[in-house]
Structure 1
Amino acid sequence: MASPRILLAGGGTGGHLYPALNLAAAFGRLAPEVECVFLGGRRGLEARVLPDAGYEFRLLPLQPLYRQRPWRNWRLFASAPAVIAGVRRAFRDFDPRLVVGTGGYVAGPALAGARLRGVPAAIQEQNAAPGLVTRLFAPGVDQIHLGYPEAEARLRVGGRTRLSALGNPVAPVAPGADGAGAPNGSGSSAPARFDWPRGRNLLVFGGSQGALGLNRAFLRDLEWAARDAAWPDGVSVVWIAGPAHAAELSARTSELPFADRVRVVPYIDDLGRQLGGVTLALCRSGAMSLAELCAAGRPAVLVPLPTSAGGHQLTNARALAEAGAAEVREEGGLEAGEVWSLCRDILTDDGRLARMSEAAASRGRPDAALDIAREMLTLLDRCAA
């Protein structure tokens, strides 16, 4: 008898793809007899990641939905026949017993296919403000798993839909103060160890989108800080500037009087599992980045991406701020020195830092992937019965 298959559909960005990959790893741990397969888009991050991930997959010729410029959506409608045909082939070839949508445009066709074929379906929604696909399909799916409990008030679900808020499915956080160490649930090797500076570290990163605005704002703040000779004792900055910006920003910061306290790098491999060396983060507020920080008990100063769909990054940020785990500053109103002054004040206030760290840990769900996968497997059992 063939192994039962779970079809995971999500992508476009890492915020939708990596939850699916982490759930697949969790399914592998809980039910090794189950085979996970993926449905993605040719234009998304998954087209580069899935070939090396070890899973069977299909990629659809999806086109983006332009909400602010609807006249550009002709490509979306023109591609619909090919997308529908691709979904049909995927269901024919894979014959899934469960469909899991983790967001992005590809999740919609997959969930629609599940509904048409009577296949059990579940959604994992990462954001405090549910995305379009989640809102459209919430009334008809069997389970919805929320990364933020605040999202429940924004959803209309069906009578048979089971709703839970188990957190976002992050990869396991590596143990130890330096964040080096353990393999994840899929059996992959540990990430290359990053050499964090001693003392208290401010991690600055922009995520997979929108790093340029945050990079510019923080550079302006450092140049502003250069006018003040007093750099806080024992504080260092690790700045993930992105491959396109690291060389320029490294050159700019090398001219500052505290250049030895600022390290600019293009990226850090598997950052979510290496947060043990971080004291405070200055970053965007993508759902998975925040989930990884909370799983590690790391507080943050958040500057939401102003162009995020539906303003979901601002909603995510406000939810963490209300929990006491973060401070929020909107990019459009930032003054020179504002975010650096705030970060410096937190890093040098033991009590404030401890309170924010405790609040972040209280929102952390390091075992969310296993908890969600365990619930979803009950749908597979129901299908088998």
Structure 2
Amino acid sequence: MAPPHQQQPQRIFFAGGGTGGHLYPGLAIARAVVRLAPQVQPHFIGARRGIERDILPATAFPHTLLDLHPLYRSAPWNNWRTVVGAFSAWRAISALSAGARPRAVIGTGGYAAGVALAWGRAHGVPTMLHEPDSHPGLTTRAFAGGARALYLGFSEAAGRLKPGANTDVLPLGCPIEPPPVPPPSRREARAKWDLPEDAFVVLVTGGSQGARAINEAVAAWIDQGLPHGVCVLWSTGRQQAAAWLDRDSARVKVRPYLAPIADAYAAADIAIARAGAMSIAELCAWSIPALLVPLPTAAQDHQTYNARATASSGGAIHLPQPELTAARLDSEVRGLLTDPVRLADMRAAMQARARPDAAQAIARSILGLLDIPIAADSPYYQP
């Protein structure tokens, strides 16, 4: 096998974005692909109006941002923007491909992926899709039939898709940053937070922006008095931190954001969180039972489907936002605090769903389907 620098460059388009849930999996897969096969050259295609405009310039990957728009369901008269943007994006992708035809187009969901996948399909370029959620999005459903591979974050999504006869359907999980090996010990993690080793630690997180409904319920729960022995690690979100920092105490650690989050995960007995696919994937990787509060306004209510699927497996409790009160939180936490057998079963159920090496597994599959060899000097090479 030729050394990586002597091998023919292999270009792959990654298309997706709009939100972090559609962009970050693509970045994780691309990084894993390059670690395995340095001759691969990922190129990201996204929307000028999506999160990718802020994230992609800070990465090492070349990228092209196009005038892409979603379907305006509540304001259909604006869909002319979607049509015009699609035509201009098609021309831009054709021009981008003129110098070096891609080996594949990999869509990671969202409106930013559709045109690139359609272009690939029309030009005979293999297409592959990653769907993070239990309820597949419109883009995944539209392109599943002709895809070479469907990579699923939730195995439950397979029942809602119509793959083609030659489509590989692989529930390999959501690409995340896996726990370190070995992970931080509970004692070490709690010492860093200045928490008792024998405390029952509840991690509260609504993501980088926070979740106001969760924050308000948690604040009310703290104000009424936490159960004996319970401590809280509370990530409020950067924009909301000022309203809740006065609750910080020996038993309640209030932070705008947790980065890195490893010591919080290592210290936690349970989590209260939104039901985004990436959040659930991380909780599974760390074997943390969860009270999942889906975002009611999520597209196609996909977080509710994620929460239901995880709860059905036994690893979580689905707690709809209208039912989220201080009294309900107190009841659920006390129930788990006093039932170690149930808590252990939930932890085992979350561990059973864990796919911490999803990015590498997906990357290996992509390279195998494209017949691109893994570099012999890659730390992940397996002869």
Q: TM-score, normalised by structure 1?
A: 0.87
Q: What's the offset of the Cα at 1:176? A: 4.6
- In the alignment, the residues of structure 2 paired with residue 35 and residue 41 of structure 1 have an alpha-carbon distance, to the nearest angstrom, of 20
Say if 1:36 and 1:101 are closer, same or farther in 2 by CA, change over 3 A: same
Match of 2:175 in 1: 169
Residue 120 (structure 1) aligned to one of 115, 126, 151: 126
Contact 2:68 2:82 in 1 (8 A): yes
Q: What's the offset of the Cα at 1:94? A: 5.0
Residue 38 (structure 1) aligned to one of 22, 41, 44: 44
- In the alignment, the residues of structure 1 paired with residue 263 and residue 163 of structure 2 have an alpha-carbon distance, to the nearest angstrom, of 34
Q: Secondary structure at the match of 1:139?
A: coil
Residue 157 (structure 2) aligned to one of 151, 155, 160: 151
Match of 1:236 in 2: 231
Match of 1:140 in 2: 146
Q: What's the offset of the Cα at 1:359? A: 0.6
Contact 2:234 2:253 in 1 (8 A): yes
Match of 1:5 in 2: 11
- In the alignment, the residues of structure 2 paired with residue 113 and residue 139 of structure 1 have an alpha-carbon distance, to the nearest angstrom, of 15
Q: Secondary structure at the match of 1:372?
A: helix
Deviations 1:183-209 (A, max 9, x none): xxxxxxxxxx97473433211111256
Match of 2:314 in 1: 324
Q: Which moved more, 1:15-24 or 1:333-342?
A: 333-342
- In the alignment, the residues of structure 1 paired with residue 75 and residue 132 of structure 2 have an alpha-carbon distance, to the nearest angstrom, of 25
Residue 244 (structure 2) aligned to one of 234, 243, 249: 249
- In the alignment, the residues of structure 2 paired with residue 137 and residue 284 of structure 1 have an alpha-carbon distance, to the nearest angstrom, of 28
Deviations 1:306-329 (A, max 9, x none): 111111101111111111000011
1:306 aligns with 2:296: yes
Which structure 2 residue ranges, 5 or more long, are not aligned?
1-6, 374-383
Contact 1:141 1:158 in 2 (8 A): yes
- In the alignment, the residues of structure 1 paired with residue 262 and residue 122 of structure 2 have an alpha-carbon distance, to the nearest angstrom, of 37
1:30-109 matches, cutoff 5 A = 30-109=36-115
Contact 2:210 2:236 in 1 (8 A): no
- Which amino acid is the alignment partner of residue 50 of structure 1? L
Q: What's the offset of the Cα at 1:351? A: 1.6
- Which amino acid is the alignment partner of residue 245 of structure 2? S
1:129 aligns with 2:135: yes
Say if 1:236 and 1:92 are closer, same or farther in 2 by CA, change over 3 A: farther
Contact 1:98 1:379 in 2 (8 A): no
1:365 aligns with 2:355: yes
Matched residues, percent identical?
A: 43
Deviations 1:259-291 (A, max 9, x none): 421111111124378622222110010011101
Q: Which moved more, 1:300-309 or 1:212-221?
A: 212-221
- In the alignment, the residues of structure 1 paired with residue 77 and residue 38 of structure 2 have an alpha-carbon distance, to the nearest angstrom, of 47
- In the alignment, the residues of structure 2 paired with residue 268 and residue 363 of structure 1 have an alpha-carbon distance, to the nearest angstrom, of 24
Q: Secondary structure at the match of 1:282?
A: strand
Q: Secondary structure at the match of 2:70?
A: coil
1:22 aligns with 2:28: yes
Q: What's the offset of the Cα at 1:292? A: 1.0
Q: Secondary structure at the match of 2:108?
A: strand
